[in-house]
Structure 1
């Protein structure tokens, strides 16, 4: 396990594809002014994804080069694509900020927890299978991609019991509110409503 970096927090939003983890993570991140650590991936962008914001989309060759150079703290293969987080991206942001957030699948979340220990707080988001499927269709994902995601649904759901917190996500505003309240305990910013 790495040496603790002060009181820094690494919040990891995880859960099945279609659980709304990205929308919730970005809303919570914006509320607290937290920076997002962006993963690298070898697949093409999906509808609505932006390079450098959602992921750093790179070739398999470039990924292999970074991996051989020891750049990745976390690297996993999912459905023929590589996903990785560079340690320098986490460390550099934590040098200037007390907290960062990431959006990862359960493998990545588990790896970060093993490396950073109690600094990592895993926030598991979920919805029922039908809702997840409907959300993925609304995003315009190909049927083949939706089927692959649903094939991982049960395994992703079982990770809920390993996480520090779990939230049902059927309403973005409500879920964001619940998570924001929970994170206040970690951030200890003592925000007070002065109205």
Structure 2
């Protein structure tokens, strides 16, 4: 099988990390670790959940994409992807829609994009439930990036799998079909 990167995208709270974890648990498809300058949330571990960076160390990496949300930097590095591909043929990554467009442009058919969507009320409930600060949550939901990521970008329309994630069991079945399509190619 050729190398593949499953790019999971959508707005915050649509289930991107949940689907990444599902791919790891069911198919042993590991996530490519991304980098961030934000502090770890409760239970998060450096080198497991993210590469937690300072502004200085963050600037030294070679990024396929990077973005700033709520004053923090996030990005996925070429080094992290190449390191993952040394051990597996298929990996996953969670990025915003701008990042997904970058992956699709750079990697073409090697990048398999899954766009997750859900209504704003469900997203707000999920973000609040995971312990996000209410004031930051409000800022995030009102941000241009969040609004942009609620809809599939034109650059990905027809070039990605669009999944409405209201029921995780239905979503998992749709993701199973994506993985099975990869295996048949």
Larger radius of gyration: 1
Distance change (3 Å), C-alpha of 1:124 and 1:160: farther
Instruction: Give the root-mean-square deviation of aligned CA atoms.
Output: 1.9
2:149 match: 156
Counterparts of 1:119 and 1:41, CA distance in 2: 25
Gaps (5+ residues) in structure 1? 1-5, 190-195
Counterparts of 2:9 and 2:86, CA distance in 1: 24
TM-score after normalising by structure 2: 0.88
Instruction: Give the secondary-structure state (helix, strand or coil) at the position aligned to 2:24.
Output: helix
The correspondence for 1:179, drawn from 165, 175, 179, is: 175
Shift >4 Å, 4+ stretches: none
**How many residues align structurally?**
180
Instruction: Give the secondary-structure state (helix, strand or coil) at the position aligned to 2:116.
Output: strand
Counterparts of 2:106 and 2:93, CA distance in 1: 15
Alignment of 1:89-108 (within 5 A): 89-108=80-99
1:122 match: 113
* 8 A contact 2:35–2:76 mirrored in 1: yes
Counterparts of 1:80 and 1:94, CA distance in 2: 31
